[in-house]
């Protein structure tokens, strides 16, 4: 088979069937990150297992030559293979899966890892189980009768896997009722049962994201034996664990609400540098307390900006650093000025106490600042990355 290279600017839907040809029944989406030593074996086993019209989509975030390895393997096989290399790994592995879901043309989309811990010969069984049960989602489970998790490398990974599963089920008991393995990375979903644009993945637990946001009508499970990695090293890490916890919190309270809570925590933390600067300026350097208060407010604004920029809106820093910093500083100082007439209205005209009025003005201006930052300064952008190549 000849591999046709595709450059940026591809306009047609990747994997779209030619005119008069029905879409495939199955699309397989495989996210890859430095899996060059696995892809030839994976493709060989997949081609042997799935129907000939199956669409294979790789979404790649690699820094090695995984794309070249896929190309070399695909040239030997009579199967449609499409690869998309993302310039930015937005959303991690989950983000790669969502991009694959957007592009898939099949009635069923099967998601699996590239390391062969998910057995390729189970793909048709997952789809058949979904068709037979008229389900929207079929989960390959390690925890139902007949399933195993022997491929987890050690006791620590088994403990983390089981602990994350219990935590997720505790937080989303109703949504995950009857699902034994919501952390599985191997599943089949009916394309009509989800809207990829509604998914906001963070890290590698895309199935949990899909179940909470898409709420599939009917879910069935198929047991499978979680195998050992064929080659390479696991991508599991402490940072991925922290992303998982953040993802859980986002799904539970909402993305915007979580950012607001984080922004509030940053604001509270800014009280300390404000007071320290005020004390140093007045007690050590003899600066007048009003002047010192203005300077200390700038110190707190700087502190709050660094934490907000790096922790709360890290993934949404589209504007330049100086633009973000300048707008943040303007908001911080306008807030101080705007609260004065509002406080005068509450205390002088409405008869509220000074402390109550101050608390209300702080709450109102906090909300205004957050909404401006969230909607105008740190703007979310989302667009699919271009294709690298495809084999037609």
290 vs 233, residue with greater confidence: 290
Q: How would you write the chain as a 3-class SS string?
A: CCCEECCCCCCCCCCCCCCCCCCCCEEEEEEECCCCCCHHHHHHHHHHHCCCCCEEEEEECCCCCHHHHHHHHHCCCCCEEEEEECCCCCCHHHHHHHHHHHHCCCCEEEECCCCCCCCHHHHHHHHHHHHHHCCCEEEEECCCCCCECCCCCCHHHHHHHHHHHHHHHHHCCCCCCCCCCCCCCCEEEEHHHCCHHHCCCCCCCHHHHHHHHHCCCCEEEEECECCCCCCCCCCCCHHHHHHHHHHHHHHHHCHHHHHHHHHHHHHHHCHHHHHHHHHHHHHHCCCCHHHHHHHHHHHHHHHHHHHHHHHHCHHHCCCCHHHHHHHHHHHHHHHHHHHHHHHHHHHHHCCCCHHHHHHHHHHHHHHHHHHHHHHHHCCCCCCCCCCCEEEC
Tell me what the mean pLDDT of segment 221-248 comes to. 68
Torsion, Cα of 346, 348, 352, 354 (10° steps): 90
- Range with the lowest mean pLDDT among 190-194, 243-247, 302-306? 243-247
For the chain, give the mean pLDDT.
80
pLDDT tens-digit readout, 117-158 = 999 999 999 999 999 999 999 999 998 898 887 766 556 566
pLDDT at 6: 32
Residue 291 in this model has a pLDDT that exceeds 70: yes
Give the best-scoring range by mean pLDDT among 91-95, 124-128, 157-161, 326-330.
124-128
**4 pLDDT tier (thresholds 50, 70, 90):** very low
**251 pLDDT tier (thresholds 50, 70, 90):** low
140 near 122, Cβ under 8 Å?
yes
- Domain ranges within the chain, ordered by starting residue: 4-253, 256-377
**333 pLDDT tier (thresholds 50, 70, 90):** confident
Residue 12 in this model has a pLDDT that exceeds 70: no
- Range with the lowest mean pLDDT among 94-98, 165-169, 316-320, 371-375? 165-169
pLDDT at 361: 75
Rounded Cα–Cα distance for residues 384 and 392 (Å) = 20
pLDDT at 206: 84
- Range with the lowest mean pLDDT among 29-38, 102-111, 208-217, 316-325? 208-217
pLDDT at 240: 60
Residue 275 in this model has a pLDDT that exceeds 90: no
CATH 1.10.3720.10 is held by the domain 4-253: no
Rounded Cα–Cα distance for residues 218 and 6 (Å) = 38
CB under 8 Å to 154, separation ≥6 — which residues?
A: none
pLDDT tens-digit readout, 186-199 = 999 999 998 888 78
């Amino acid at each position: 088979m000849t591999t046709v290279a595709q450059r940026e600017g591809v306009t047609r839907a990747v994997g779209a069937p030619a005119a008069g040809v029905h879409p495939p029944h199955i699309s397989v989406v495989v996210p890859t990150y430095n899996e060059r030593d696995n892809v030839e074996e994976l493709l060989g086993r997949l081609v042997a297992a799935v129907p000939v019209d199956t669409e294979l989509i790789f979404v790649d975030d690699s820094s090695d030559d995984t794309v070249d390895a896929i190309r070399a393997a695909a040239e030997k096989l009579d199967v449609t293979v499409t690869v998309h290399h993302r310039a930015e790994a937005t959303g991690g592995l989950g983000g790669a899966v969502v991009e694959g879901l957007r592009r898939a043309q099949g009635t069923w989309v099967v998601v699996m890892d590239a390391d062969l811990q998910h057995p390729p010969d189970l793909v048709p069984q997952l789809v058949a189980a979904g068709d037979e049960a008229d389900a929207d989602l079929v989960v390959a489970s390690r925890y139902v009768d007949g399933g195993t998790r022997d491929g987890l490398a050690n006791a620590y990974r088994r403990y983390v896997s089981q602990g994350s599963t219990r935590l997720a089920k505790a937080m989303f008991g109703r949504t995950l009722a009857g699902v034994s393995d919501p952390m599985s990375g191997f599943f089949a979903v009916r394309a009509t049962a989800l809207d990829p644009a509604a998914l906001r993945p963070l890290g590698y637990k895309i199935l949990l994201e899909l179940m909470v946001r898409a709420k599939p009508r009917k879910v069935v499970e198929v047991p499978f034996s979680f195998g050992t990695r064929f080659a390479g090293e696991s991508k599991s890490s402490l940072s991925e664990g922290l992303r998982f916890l953040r993802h859980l919190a986002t799904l539970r309270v909402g993305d915007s609400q979580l950012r607001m809570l984080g922004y509030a925590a940053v604001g509270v933390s800014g009280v300390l540098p404000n007071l320290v600067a005020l004390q140093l300026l007045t007690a050590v350097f003899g600066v007048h307390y009003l002047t010192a208060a203005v300077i200390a407010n700038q110190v707190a604004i700087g502190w709050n900006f660094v934490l907000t920029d790096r922790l709360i809106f890290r993934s949404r820093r589209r504007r330049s650093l100086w633009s973000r910093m300048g707008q943040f500083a303007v908001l911080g100082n306008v807030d101080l000025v705007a609260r004065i007439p509002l406080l005068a209205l509450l205390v002088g005209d409405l008869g509220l106490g000074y402390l109550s009025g101050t608390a209300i003005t702080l709450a109102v201006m906090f909300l205004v600042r957050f909404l401006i930052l969230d909607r105008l300064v740190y703007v979310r952008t989302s667009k699919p990355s271009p294709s690298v190549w495809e084999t037609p």
